[in-house]
Amino acid sequence: MKLVVSEEVREALGARRPVVALESTIIAHGLPRPRNLLVARELEEAVRQEGAVPATIAVLDGRPHVGLDKEQLERVATEDGIRKLGHRDLPLAVARAASGATTVSATALLAALAGVRVFATGGLGGVHREWTVTQDESADLGLLARTRITVVCAGVKSILDVPATLQRLETLGVAVAGYRTDRFPGFYLSDSGHPVDWTLDDPEQVAAVMRAQDTLDGPPSALVVANPVPEAEQLDPALHARVLADALHACEAEGITGQAVTPFLLERLVRLTDGASLNANLAAVRGNVRLAARIAAARAGA
């Protein structure tokens, strides 16, 4: 599986300049058109404003790309039939010459293979509610347990089982630190209601942890930097609790199961909050992208 690394990203890596990986699922599947393309461009520009090079990742015609040009970015945002690819799907997509947007697990894997150490996303996948019945757990967790990358995120989506996800990350040996907080964020919410054991206060501290990972040379697991959405931009907690409860009840009543659960709940959240959940999502992503660029710059300048 030969990676296609863009010239800009390749030159930045060769010169040890900061690079930030960006997933493409939010472009192809997370936002409506044409807003998705505008946001994709905005996020890449935010990385540049912080002095780093953006590396949006996707698979096009069976070729994994780390860094997209203008036309390729537009293709991911506008082409019908773009698949959603986790890391398990990559060999299939390559062999079948398919095109797809990469989830957290696929983006993290391809970024690490290309030598990109910092990755910004919205929220991680995790352990689903009623895990004891469904055994439903995101592939993100296992992949991060064996991939040396720093992921800046706003925690995990509140539709998941947050304490079980934190326990699973601990079991898998994935380091988790709150950024300027001792609380684990809840994606749409600044505080999921659960604590974290470690707090990092600036990009230089994050870069120091990354260097310590390399020095210790332990298992190649990730560092999760949990960066909360600002309180002023979070979804109203009371509205969130009410709508989520209604969505979970509707999911059960309609017999929604398996992979259909997450898109069903997220669509209900967007619709029943009049788009406020989407606005909180985007606020979180914007903050994560800027912080990731500052972390990459701190590591490059060390």
pLDDT value of position 203: 98
pLDDT value of position 242: 93
Average pLDDT over residues 230-246: 92
- Given the residues 23, 44, 50, 137, the one annotated as active site: 23
Q: Could you list the residue range(s) of the whole structural domain that residue 138 is in?
A: 4-300
pLDDT value of position 219: 92
> Does residue 9 register a pLDDT over 90?
yes
**Tens digits of per-residue pLDDT, 129-186?**
766 556 667 889 999 999 999 999 999 987 889 999 999 999 999 999 999 999 999 9
**Tens digits of per-residue pLDDT, 187-207?**
999 999 999 999 999 999 999
The rounded percent of the chain whose pLDDT value lies above 90 is: 80
pLDDT value of position 206: 98
Q: What's the structural domain count of the chain?
A: 1
- Given the residues 44, 50, 137, 157, the one annotated as active site: 157
Cβ-contact 61, 28 below 8 angstroms: no
Residue 1 pLDDT level (bands cut at 50, 70, 90): low
Q: Is 157 an annotated catalytic residue?
A: yes
Tokens representing 106 are 């696929």
Task: Give Cα separations from 161 to 15, 93, 123, 144, 186 (angstroms).
Answer: 42, 30, 13, 18, 11
Q: Is 2 an annotated catalytic residue?
A: no
**Tens digits of per-residue pLDDT, 248-291?**
889 888 887 766 777 788 888 889 999 999 999 999 999 999 99
Tell me the C-alpha distance between 251 and 64, whole Å: 35
CATH code of the domain in which 105 resides: 3.40.1790.10
pLDDT value of position 265: 81
Mean predicted lDDT score pLDDT of the chain: 93
Task: Give Cα separations from 208 to 116, 201, 223, 302 (angstroms).
Answer: 17, 12, 12, 9
